[in-house]
Amino acid sequence: MTSPLVTSEVGRLRTVLLHRPGAELRRLTPRNNDELLFDGVPWVARAQEEHDAFAAALTDRGVEVLHLDRLLAEVLDVPAAREQLVAAAVDDPRIGETLRHTCVAHLSGLASDELAAALIGGVAHDELPGARGLAFELMGPGDFVVRPLPNLLFTRDSSVWVGDQVAITSLAMPARHRESTITGAVYAHHPRFAGPQRLYDPTLEHLEGGDVLLLAPGVLAVGVGERTTAGGAERLARRVFARGLAHTVLVVPIAQERATMHLDTIATMVDVDAMVMYPAVADTLVAWTVRAGDDPDAGDLRVSGPQPFLAAAADAMGIERLRLIDTGLDPVTAEREQWDDGNNTLCIGPRLAVAYERNTVTNKALEDAGIEVVPIAGDQLGSGRGGPRCMSCPVVRDASPA
Which positions lie near ligand ARG, rule CB under 6 A? 37, 151, 154, 156-157, 173, 176, 210, 261-262, 264-265, 384-386, 390
Q: Rounded to an integer, what distance in angstroms lies between the CA atom of residue 245 and that of residue 396? A: 15
Query: Do residues 307 and 289 make contact, with C-beta atoms less than 8 angstroms apart?
Result: yes
Q: How far is the CB of 292 from ligand ARG (least distance, A)?
A: 27
**Which residues make beta-bridge pairs with 353?**
347, 373
Contact partners, residue 32, CB within 8 Å, separation at least 6: none
Residue 358 or 385 having the CB closest to ligand ARG: 385
Query: 334-358 as b/e, with b when 16 or more CB fall inside 10 Å?
Result: bebbbbbbbbbbbbbbbbbbbbbeb
Q: How far is the CB of 101 from ligand ARG (least distance, A)?
A: 31
Asked, as a colleague might, if the bond just before 388 is cis with ω within 30 of 0, I would say no
Residue 133 or 232 having the CB closest to ligand ARG: 232
Q: How far is the CB of 154 from ligand ARG (least distance, A)?
A: 4
> What amino acid positions are annotated as catalytic residues?
390
* Chain residue at closest Cβ approach to ligand ARG: 210
Residue 279 or 386 having the CB closest to ligand ARG: 386
Q: Rounded to an integer, what distance in angstroms lies between the CA atom of residue 220 and that of residue 225? A: 16
Residue 81 or 395 having the CB closest to ligand ARG: 395
Q: H helices of 140-262, where?
A: 155-158, 179-189, 230-242
Query: Do residues 222 and 162 make contact, with C-beta atoms less than 8 angstroms apart?
Result: no
Q: How far is the CB of 220 from ligand ARG (least distance, A)?
A: 15
